[in-house]
Amino acid sequence: MSDVADETTTNTYDGFSHMAMVLTPPSSHDDMGALKIVDPDGDLILRSERSGSIKVCSAALRRASPVFKAMLFGPWKEAKPATGTWVVHIDDSEWPNALDIILPVIHGVPFDPPAVNAQQLSEVLIFADLYDMRQLLRPWITQCLVQHCKRGVEWKIPIYNQLRLLPLLRVAWEHGLADRFSTLLKGAILFGYKKDLEGLRDAGTICPENPHLLEKPAQIREALVTEYLEFYYKECETPCLAFDPPKSLAEMAERRTCHDGKLAVIGESLYPDGPVPKSAKDYTSRICNLDIQMAEVFQSELQVRKGHEACHPTPRFDVFKEALQRKIDCYKVLQPADETLLAERREKWGL
Ligand SMILES: [Zn+2]
């Protein structure tokens, strides 16, 4: 008969104790049995895969969101049944943490904003869009964001895998944080793996006004890797520069020894796991790794014989890196139209 009659466990819902649950979301279906209570006098049970069953007030939902209003008080199957418990199923697969965060907020239950991480904040933004709750949630989201930026933890740690990067990009774009958005994307080019950058291309929903923005980093990454590989192969081909031209058999032999020695070191050390990739498409690791390996080999491991200082790649590598750095510095992530859009956003959020 009633869905709730079988619920034997009940949790009293408050902003602090439920944080533990948000950080370790329920993974088994057993947890679906526990009823969480946002409003003890609530008349509606929201049921979802990730957040389980939550007792709420239908009027609070109606006031907070025109979408909830239409859904719950229109001629739909979600409308209140004539008899029995009012249960509405919600698909929260796209935003598994959002209900647990938003429901207390719209019921006036205190909630600790700094405890929300970028992933959770990003889900709240998606939810706020879907349920047309931007206006209502804006002060709360802004407060979260300000706290989040103050703590700075997730913004400063250069972890550029997709899971960490996507929510941060979404939050930065949504709030018009142009500098953070640019820094994150530039960082991803240097510190992300190939798959992370390629994953960005499929994440156009993060900046729907200009989804092509996220295609560029993978192309730039590939261009930079190509330059590194070209430098490497050119260095391999550069002959010994001492005794040029050689005047004796002994000098010819010494030139050969110099070149063979150099090849032995840079060939073996640069890429210990196998042959150096021929093309940037085959290089899957991070650019920063390639850079560090090259610097170690060219600047530390390779020794040249006396009189062969010109054969050492270090000065050429330094020039190469300076040129590359200039290219990265000049790369504009955002177009003028993006800048304008983000400036308006920033103002709208009062940041
Ligand atoms: Zn030499």
Q: How far apart are CA 331 and CA 257, in angstroms?
A: 42
Residue 36 lies inside a defined structural domain of this protein: yes
Residue 60 lies inside a defined structural domain of this protein: yes
Report the number of distinct structural domains present in the chain: 2
Residue 12 lies inside a defined structural domain of this protein: yes
Question: How many A from CA of 262 to the centre of ligand 1?
Answer: 9
Residue by residue, DSSP assigns 101-139 as: HHHHHHTT----GGG--HHHHHHHHHHHHHTT-HHHHHH
Question: How many A from CA of 230 to the centre of ligand 1?
Answer: 21
Residue 161 lies inside a defined structural domain of this protein: no
CATH number at residue 13: 3.30.710.10
| Tens-place pLDDT, residues 10-33 | 333 333 333 323 333 333 334 446
pTM above 0.85, yes or no: no
- Burial of residue 94, with CB atoms counted within 10 A of its CB: 0-12 exposed, 13-18 middle, 19 or more buried: exposed
In terms of residue numbers, what domain contains 136?
4-142
Residues 95 and 199 in one domain: no
Question: How many A from CA of 261 to the centre of ligand 1?
Answer: 9
Residue 254 lies inside a defined structural domain of this protein: yes
**Residue 68: per-residue pLDDT:** 94
100 contacts 48 by C-beta, under 8 angstroms: no
140 is written with which tokens? 């709360």
Tell me the three state secondary structure of residue 45.
strand
**Residue 30: per-residue pLDDT:** 40
Residue 83 lies inside a defined structural domain of this protein: yes
| Averages of pLDDT over each 10 residues, the chain, 351 residues | 36 33 35 79 94 94 94 90 93 88 87 71 84 83 71 54 74 85 85 86 80 89 94 91 90 93 80 75 88 83 87 92 89 92 85 69
Residue 151 lies inside a defined structural domain of this protein: no
Q: How far apart are CA 177 and CA 168, in angstroms?
A: 10
Domain finish residue from 89, 123, 142: 142
Residues 123 and 244 in one domain: no
Rg (CA), the chain: 29
How far is residue 110 from each of residues 15, 18, 38, 59, 249, measured CA to CA in Å? Answer: 6, 11, 11, 19, 86
Residue 35 lies inside a defined structural domain of this protein: yes
Residues 188 and 327 in one domain: yes
Question: How many A from CA of 287 to the centre of ligand 1?
Answer: 29
